[in-house]
Amino acid sequence: MADNIQDDELFPNSIQIDPEVVMKTCGSRLMVRLSRHEAIAVKAMDDFKRDWAAIGGKPFYGCTGGDGHNLASLGLPESLPDRTYDFMRYTEYYFAIDEANQPRGASQTDSLVELEAEEVQKINDAMMEILPGEYTSASNVTNWKSAERQMLAEISMSLVERDRKRAYAFLKATQRYHNFNNLRKDFSTYTWDQWCRRRWEDGDSYAFLASIPYFCGLDLTQKDFDETLMPIAWPGMMCTLLTNDLYSFDPEVHTEFLGDNFFNAVWYWMKALDITVTEAKAVLFGKIKGWETKFLDAKTEFLASHPDAPLDFRKYLAYVECMVAGNWFWHGTNPPRYALWMNFAESGRRMVVINDPAKYDPDTAKCGTFIEIEPTKGGTTKAHGAVISSVKADDAPADDPTTYSAALGDGTAKGTAANATVNGPTTSGAATNGATTNGAAATPNGTVNSAASKGNTHSAHSQEIVLAPIEYLRSMPSKGVRTVMINALDVWCSVPPSSLVRVENVISALHDASLMFDDIEDRSPMRRGLPSTHAAFGVSQTINSANFLYALALSQAIELPNPKSIHVFSEELQTMHIGQAADLEWTHSRHCPTVEEYKIMVQNKTGGLFRMLAGLLCSEGQAVLISKKDLLGLMTMLGEYFQVRDDYINLCSSEYHSQKGFCEDLDEGKFSLPLIHLLTHTKRRHLLESLLCECAYHGNGMTLAMKQLVYKEMENSGSLDFTKRHLVELESMILRQIAALEQQAGAKNYVLRLVFDKLRVE
């Protein structure tokens, strides 16, 4: 099969660049291709820069190449014509964020800590990571951040509308990076292998590789991607990451330098071997060539041993090669993004951290040129001595016939050109979707610092005890819906950063407490595929920690500037408990409610937290653009949708079954919407009620056979179809309400549309 595949089958959208030109430009043996649809990419690049400037973003060079060809057209030349525009916009977005970024490495602090207003502002600054331009008020910062989120959400929605299934596979992959702990750590004792593994995660490599199926329209299962293709592709991605480090070192060391723990492969080898910048770049070049060889060997071996591999497998590996080679080639063309880094420093577009860059000589500069290093015994220094002992024999530079000087091209043999990029839609300092705080009750050193603890002394051990169940719960996988919802509603409310942090703290604390209480009250042994909190820490300790979260939520709510906020907090908290009381009563008494009674319960129990969020944001907002009444109505509908959706996927989702068990709601004895419909429409109600009573009496839940019987009855009685229809009706109502609110605000809320679209049940 392999011999019969022609280039026009693999590469219908691109042309190959002369290999001799490639070798002279960057030294790669891989195939470099250029998109036939570069004009589309150029238009997208121009449109994005215009839109970016319109929201107050800093000027940036982005994908522009030194030879006129842009990175998107070289890095993913087989992007489909109807997806090239969005690929370029997505790539430009992350370039813009990276170039607007302040020097990275500031510690991010857990929130829900009792702080003065200016300290809360500092937390918010670290949370947002970027503050482009000069700002005179918190509202300007918030407005810009909301606009920036809107841009990303608009691009993401465009992907989803074109190809929902592939889009969410890609967007899910990008979330891996945001979930990755990107705080800078001490790398001084890392072996080269450890350093590369860290770089792989830090560079968002998985998302890079996951972008290919979407933008090139390939049909690959998750298993195909993870188990078959990823092991072949990842050496190529390491080649790309290290290429970035090779070319970006000079600009970064002058404009984003973080001291001894600078996270760049050139710096690693400077420390490890006590060598100059130029010498370290030569070492790194050998490493890059080594990864290139590993990728080519793995690709060749797979294709030879799998002659009948699907065409899309072959396309994927070919496009990975194009991505790796195109990225390297683009670096070698001296793109303005980094070729003009001296201009950035001189114009103040980036912060100059060390002395005059014009005096920098890479042939003589060592670690001590950039930081003061205290000599240690043996002539080494603290900056690199710890690493030297960990360098293994196989970490030596790889032998390769291509020299470092030749690969960099004319005029750059000494590493003075310093052209670099972070390839594609990833950056080490990429903006997160809003607040990174999670409402944690502990400061980084593990102590509690809240209003509840003022004037009191607590042993560190006691604090660890009360925090342990909370930290355990927060270590579980999470959809993060409420955090994104805060960002979405802030588009309409413009809440000052300090208040926004506190509102998120309140909602996060109450949400986590409710999960603890729900699992206890429902006697649920599992949550998100792990033992529930009370199963791990006991019922009493879990209740105590949940109550502790309530106290911390209150301590944050009373600090909100608007006195109306505490009333919103109190009123909706009561409403939530009233709704929960009805749910518990029905379960205890085995009384089956009507559908209308169920809806009221859900609107109170689940809708209450959504309404509290909206009410707090409206109270604290500086420029609320929409009707509060209409917004609260939307939140009530969202709460109902959220709960009914949960009822439905509990019964129908294989992923949910793998995490919590098959039809777990039936074990809990809860009257979900499908069960209520079943009991009021089945001819076998007496049998089903007897099953429920027996399970409640013995307290052991249903056997698998019992669940299968109930599930079959739901199918026969149309209960699952009824629930799905109700979700579709709610979806239409919610979208109409969003559209009405958008009309009031005068613009679409793409962040809200995206977060709701993610909740939709297929």
CA–CA gap between residue 762 and residue 760 (Å, rounded): 6
Check pLDDT > 50 for residue 89. Answer: yes
Check residue 45 and give its pLDDT: 93
For residue 105, pLDDT beyond 80:
no
What is the pLDDT at residue 670?
Answer: 82
Distance from C-alpha of 33 to C-alpha of 19, rounded to nearest angstrom: 10
Domains and CATH numbers, the chain: 7-103+115-369 (1.10.600.10), 462-759 (1.10.600.10)
Residues 6+ apart with CB under 8 A from 459: none
Tens-place pLDDT, residues 612-621: 999 999 999 9
* 573 closest CA partner among 586, 585, 557: 557
Contact 121, 253 (CB under 8 A): no
DSSP labels, 386-427: HHHTT--GGGSPPP-SS-HHHHH-TT-TTS-S------SS--
Query: 42-56, 193-207, 452-466, 678-692 — which is least confidently predicted?
Result: 452-466
Q: Which range is least confidently modeled, 296-310, 439-453, 582-596?
A: 439-453
Q: What percent of the chain has pLDDT over 70?
A: 75
Confidence (pLDDT) at 392:
38
Query: Given a cut of 60, is residue 647 above it in pLDDT?
Result: yes
| Residue 556 and residue 506 in contact, taking contact as beta carbons nearer than 8 Å | yes
Output 288 or 9, whichever has higher pLDDT: 288
- pLDDT at residue 96, rounded to an integer: 87
List the one residue out of 594, 590, 598, 592 whose CA is nearest residue 694. Answer: 590
Contacts 24+ apart (CB under 8 A), 192-201: 192/268, 192/272, 192/391, 192/392, 192/395, 195/265, 195/268, 196/238, 199/238, 199/241, 199/242, 199/245, 199/263, 199/265, 200/234, 200/237, 200/238, 200/241, 201/177
Distance separating alpha carbons of residues 223 and 229, to the nearest angstrom = 9
The predicted pLDDT at position 100 comes to 65
pLDDT confidence of 97, banded at 50, 70, 90? Answer: confident
- Distance from C-alpha of 281 to C-alpha of 283, rounded to nearest angstrom: 5
Confidence of residue 7 (pLDDT cuts 50, 70, 90): confident
pLDDT, greater one: 406 or 642: 642
What mean pLDDT comes out for the span 547-558?
95
Measured distance CA(265)–CA(280) in Å, rounded: 9
For residue 3, give Cα distances in angstroms to 7, 303, 307, 322, 761. Answer: 11, 11, 9, 20, 43
Does the pLDDT of residue 643 top 80, yes or no?
Answer: yes
- Tens digit of pLDDT for each residue in 654-672? 666 555 567 777 777 789 9
Beta carbons within 8 Å of 518's beta carbon, 6+ residues apart: 524
Q: What is the mean pLDDT of residues 705-726?
A: 91
Question: What does the alpha-carbon distance between residue 663 and residue 708 come to, in Å, rounded to a whole number?
Answer: 9
Q: d(Cα 101, Cα 603) in Å, to the nearest integer? A: 42
**SS3 of residue 448 by DSSP:** strand
- How much is the pLDDT for 143? 67
The first and second tokens of residue 187, run together, are 């790398």
Q: For 301-343, give the DSSP string.
A: HHHHH-TT--HHHHHHHHHHHHHHHHHHHHHHT--HHHHTHHH
Give the distance from CA 753 to its chain's centroid.
18
Question: Cβ(536)–Cβ(593) under 8 Å?
Answer: no
Give the least confident one: 4-8, 25-29, 154-158, 348-352: 348-352
CA geometry: angle 307, 310, 313, nearest 5 deg: 100
Radius of gyration of the chain (CA): 28
pLDDT at 379: 38
Write down the residue that tokens 């670690």 correspond to: 367
- Cα(168)–Cα(654) distance, integer angstroms: 18
| Average pLDDT score over the chain | 79
Residue 37: CA count within 13 A, CB half-sphere: 21
Give the residue among 144, 52, 109, 178 at the shortest CA–CA distance from 432: 178
H-helix or E-strand spanning residue 380 = none
State mean pLDDT over 41-48: 94
Neighbouring CB atoms inside 10 A of 18's CB total 9
Mean pLDDT of 355-378: 67
pTM for this model (two decimals) = 0.76
pLDDT bucket at 504, cuts 50 / 70 / 90: very high
